[in-house]
Chain A
């Protein structure tokens, strides 16, 4: 601590000529700033920075649960864990399941969010905040509780969803018991729970779309869809990018839904990358779990970068 402030003080003194008439402020200021920063910085170093680095280290060793008390007595194995992951049929299955969840779930969630936001922003003038509140509410509830409830809603015989489908003459599938329908069921629930966040951000973004442009286009004979397509969408691009990135980051890590509702089944159709990593951790394969978690991180980073690029190029 003292070395940090001393260093800051020295630097401050050197800069003094440029700061007029307040000879002692800089010195005091630097010290006070570090005093204020210190509690956060200490917790952050111990519980975030150190584990991030330790995880990377662990992933190139053969650490297992029994090595818990002697973390430095483990052997270095290079990229063996990563190589193992890329040939682990079960992990690849989990990666494909996660890709399915993301590729279908993210566009579905974004479409619902954008539709709700546009309807609330332009379509109506009354009860706007009540609708907004209603759509946002599922976001703040526990995924575990929601998953427990949806497990019942999705029951084949006495579930609410199949009952409603029955009213219009559709025989609903055995959602969570059929490997073809288990993932669609989880995606449906995720979209239901999460579209509210996107809707709120889209509503904020829509404030930036000038209404005069819409009016001018309407005078020129553009219909509502054309105006949405050629005015709203291009102007909303940064917001859409932001929401798709954050939604995708969340969906790439989905865990609670299969943990509670399907336990990864049936026939491993809903094992996600996070769930598989958690299981490896549970088996005591700490090094392998750490390498899997880094692979998830790499996927998150790559997908984010790609998405930024794709949206920039299209424009």
Chain B
């Protein structure tokens, strides 16, 4: 197929329909968050709100404490992202460019844990964090995720593609090893850091199982934990409120994703891991 032939028209129609189906739940969620619960119980359902109201959002941030949950989610995601960017690029550089004893074994060990399901570690992790007195604290939510094998893999792959001459040039100029990393290598890792940063942020923001067991009072709830628990509790039938809550969870990351989408999609295409 060449550039003059844009393709079959019916394929555009089909793909457009598919995009509508994929996007419909989100559109319906956002529109629904401005509806009253009475309207949400109507059959057939409405698309546009008949009487648009901000009441759901007011309740979310006044009667419930979604401001706090939003803050918790943000702090945890930012710290986890910063930790992974720093620690994974340090190790990734060492594995890609430096020679040291135990290198192969270390790389094998880190990659070997990529396959292990999260559920395998969570019982002893809970015991560990509980014994450290970190249950129901923000550090308890962050610590287990500060150093993830996926980031090491991604950074190592990227740094392997950089010319080794950089290293030798730095050494000839008399720069120390750590200085070479900080001043020469790291500034060149922008694309990989952006990909890792955005994927880690999204992963942390959407993380559920661990915050569910560690956050035990409303002070430390993250957004997904709060939303999941409210959807089962006394607010379970307050449909407008739950849709507004879902909107607050989804829309900020959707904005971040759209801003950096090229990086995310390239990252998935090259590493194959989301």
Contact = CB atoms under 8 A, between A and B. Distances in A.
Interface string A17-47: 0000000011011111111110111011011
Q: Is the interface of B mostly helix, strand, loop or mixed?
A: helix
A99 interface: no
Contact of A36 (B14, B93, B116, B117): B93
A253 B106 CA distance: 27
Given A41-B91, A126-B6, A253-B118, A192 B99 contact: no
A313 B118 CA distance: 31
A221 interface: no
Contact of B128 (A51, A136, A203, A255): A51
A123 B7 contact: yes
Given A137-B257, A201-B268, A246-B272, A148 B246 contact: yes
B145 to A, nearest CB: 8
A239 B22 CA distance: 24
Interface string B116-136: 111111111111101100000
A137 B121 contact: no
Interface string A237-262: 00000110010010011011001100
Interface string A254-293: 0110011001000000000010011001000010011001
A116 interface: yes
A153 B28 CA distance: 9
Interface residues on A, range: 35 or more
Interface string B251-273: 00110011001001100111011
A54 interface: yes
7 contacts: A32-B177, A32-B178, A126-B6, A135-B22, A136-B265, A277-B119, A286-B127
Interface of B: 1, 3, 5-8, 11-12, 14-15, 18-19, 21-26, 28-29, 32, 40-45, 83, 86-88, 90-91, 93-95, 98-103, 106, 109-110, 113, 115-128, 130-131, 143-144, 146-147, 149, 152, 171, 176-178, 181, 202, 205-206, 208-209, 213, 223-224, 227-228, 231-232, 239, 242-243, 245-247, 249-250, 253-254, 257-258, 261, 264-265, 268-270, 272-274
Given A68-B130, A301-B115, 4 more contacts: A44-B113, A135-B18, A146-B246, A204-B270
